[in-house]
Structure 1
């Protein structure tokens, strides 16, 4: 099976004249040293259609081309599983992950994961790739997950993520009526006592910051939008419990499970700059059926 290569190209401008191609790729476009070393060994960098050394200097008008590595040995077994694709091109795949599915195989969940589904999707098209999710969400959180299709796309989005250039939004339903229209929870998070899973507010823990905005209030619940400024494990869940409004259905953090048996949290939007074009990309995922049903129940409760 042969995976079609992704070709990255850039036309040098006036400011690039006299610069080494290495410097342009490293400093202007944030190619990692690891990737540049692979490109150098594979002779995958050309100027105006001819192989060039990274230490050569460019001039205005040069067309710098980089062939990104197409074939990689998958480390996850592909499976024929449903996959709700929101966006895909030669660099990225974005999917709407269902409730109950783990992102990456582990000892407890070795199969039926999102990774197995993605690799199976690519294998059926004759493509060999590694599974490189840019971020992970909990097994029972639904919504957007973005996967890089090559090393370049992964390191480009990782660079954006580290610098806060990627914007993620979640929607959730919490227990009780939140009084403030909006606010920020700026509380550090650590492990809860005697647990390897649950987190809690801990002044000695890792810094975590969650912004929220009320979208609608119901008699016994509140519909919130969350914007994460950090990405800690269980951050929203622990912060909601900490300020007295656990997510509905979240039994681990004290949420009411009367109408929902999983925490009512959905990864609804992921915005970033495309790794190759630099153009803004916004990925949105619709609510799954259980949250749509919860919305109907809450609305019926208001009108009853």
Structure 2
């Protein structure tokens, strides 16, 4: 086996005896049929060090090995850009995305994106890979972004994300004082009329549910923690505007830009199961400097003489 590729291994247990390897990988470890087809064609499924067919049946104690695709060409040009790495292993790269950076190149943002930065980082390490972010956050939202380093990791995390098994927490500052200590915003979201960017709450939109908890109240603002059950585009921004407490700095959704020129929103924590080990992972991103300065400004509004 090629040492440059990631090797996934599993030792069969008693309940696996007599099961086809295909069934074990499909139902126990949620490998996709598409990935298994690629592995089959590349002869990348092994038992006790020898190639095997997926239709063969396993025995307790056998070591099932998968040689995962890691070295793959990408059409995203790498760039030597700063990258703040929160966690990395052979399956995952988790970064703290800065404000103003797009997660993935688009026709409007061809360079200086997180994708360009990550590909450039891998190129400098001699690890050509496809760029596979598990999720996206808005250009002017800072914080945690998870990137899979191979197709298996991407598929495993996407499976968790689709089923709501990944916990997502954000910090945000909204206009006005929210009296309730916690609450749930349960408004469906769709496109705003005549806009390809802006969203709005509408009854026939996609289900969207945001939990919030008050962390601190200022004279004219509230510091909140958000927990997302769903991951709709602009979800927190739309929901905050919908309860008449838009995020500070969010000019698209009628937020006050006096103290901040971007939405006061930070992707603070993601919790999930590691795609290979199944162990719980909790990744946190520290507060960016502009939000620390915002706190100072909000505190100063409450000082004597203000």
Structure 1 counterpart of 2:238: 238
Look up the match of 1:290.
290
Normalised by the length of structure 1, the TM-score is: 0.98
Contact 1:3 1:128 in 2 (8 A): no
Cα deviation 1:110-135 (Å, max 9, x = unaligned): 00000000000000000110000000
Greater shift, 192-201 or 82-91, is seen at 192-201
Q: What runs of 5+ residues in structure 2 fail to find an aligned partner? A: none
Alpha-carbon contact 1:3-1:70 (below 8 Å) kept: no
User: Residue 3 of structure 1: CA displacement?
Assistant: 8.6
CA deviation string 1:66-102 (max 9, x = no partner): 0101211112000000000000000000000000000
Deviation string, structure 1 residues 223-264 (Cα, Å, up to 9, x no partner) = 000011111110100000000100000011111101100000
Instruction: State the partner residue of 1:229.
Output: 229
Match of 1:169 in 2: 169
Q: Which residue of 2 aligns with 1:94?
A: 94
SS at match of 2:301: helix
- Displacement of 1:285 in angstroms is 0.2
- Residue of structure 2 equivalent to 1:33: 33
Query: C-alpha separation between the residues in 1 aligned to 2:211 and 2:4?
Result: 41
What root-mean-square deviation, in Å, do the aligned CA atoms of Structure 1 and Structure 2 show?
Answer: 1.0
Structure 2: distance between partners of 1:190 and 1:36: 36
State how far apart, in whole Å, the 2-side matches of 1:4 and 1:174 are.
48
| Aligned twin of 2:15 | 15
Alignment coverage as a number of residue pairs: 303
SS at match of 1:18: coil
Q: Distance in 1 between matches of 2:283 and 2:8?
A: 22
Deviation of 1:300 (Å): 2.1
Q: Which residue of 2 aligns with 1:6?
A: 6
* 2:135 counterpart of 1:135: yes
Counterpart mapping for 1:45-56 below 5 A: 45-56=45-56
Gaps of 5+ in 1: none
- Structure 1 299/96 Cα, relative in aligned 2: closer, same or farther at 3 Å? same
- The runs of at least 4 aligned residues of structure 1 exceeding 4 Å deviation read none
- Structure 1 residues 249 and 292 mapped into 2: Cα distance closer, same or farther (>3 Å)? same
Q: Is the 8 A contact 1:3 1:126 kept in 2?
A: no
**Is 1:119 paired with 2:138?**
no
- Give the corresponding residue for 1:200: 200
Tell me whether 1:77 sits opposite 2:84 in the alignment: no
